[in-house]
Structures are given as C-alpha cells and as structure tokens.
Amino acid sequence: MFLILMKTYSIFFMLLFMADFYFTDNLILMRMKKTLSEEKYEEVRSYFAKFTRALVPKALILAVLSGSYLFYVYFGSTENGFSNFQIVLAIKAFLGSWLGLRGILQVFFGIQPFVFKGHALPFVLVIIIVFLSQIMFSV
C-alpha cells in the first residue's frame, strides 16, 4: 500500500511541477505573448510567476524525494546484468535527477546551471519521465 501511495505521489508531484510551470509557460503564456502588448504580457507573466514560485519548489523537492525513494526500492540487484526494467528506471532516474539538481540549484541557490533560453527541453524531459514511469513496469 505504501509503495502505491509513493508511486502516486511521485507522478502527482512531477505532473504538478510540470503543469504549474512548464505547461503554463510553454502552452499558455507563449500564446498570450502573440496577442498581448509587451507591457500587458509582462504583467500577466509576473502574476503567474508569483504563484509558481510558491508552488514549484515544494513540488520539485517532493518529486525528487519520492522518485529517489522509489528508485531505491525498485532498482534491485545487478548480479545478472541489467534488466529492461532497470535500464528504463535508470534513464528515468537520470533525467529526474538532472531536472531536480538544475531546479534546486536555480530555485534555492540562484545558480543558473545547464543554461537554457526557454523551458521547452525541460518540458519535454518531464513528459518523457512521466511516460517512462508508466511503461517501465511492462517492459
């Protein structure tokens, strides 16, 4: 029961992290930029940013912690080589760790590691992580 709860939390916090920031930035605000004046766009963007700064760091930490715990529980032994499940899990863990490290350094320490001009690549990586989490138990 606890593992099912942790899986649910992990996916929920990753989706919350993705939806609150990447989804808003990539799908909503980009479209608004085309129709609003620069001044109005900046006003709307700052409004979203205020709420994002309150929610995203908490969701990020909880996604990384729950994902790390699930990695610890499910990875298992590699005595007989890596299974397909372990390979998919390792890829997912690498992407999640990279996003988590980048986000934690940026949000909590003001360090801009692994510089991007936008959020398109992290958005795609979050979608890949969610899909990998859904298919890894069937490979």
Q: Quote the tokens at residue 30.
A: 């980009």
pLDDT digits (tens, 9 = 90+) for 59-82: 778 888 888 888 888 888 888 888
pTM attached to this predicted model: 0.73
Q: Which domain holds residue 6?
A: 2-138
- Report the 10 Å Cβ neighbour count for 21: 24
* Number of domain units in the chain: 1
Instruction: Measure the CA–CA gap between 11 and 27, rounded to whole angstroms.
Output: 20
Which of helix, strand or coil describes residue 81? coil
pLDDT digits (tens, 9 = 90+) for 120-137: 777 788 888 888 888 887
Q: Quote the tokens at residue 14.
A: 């990753």
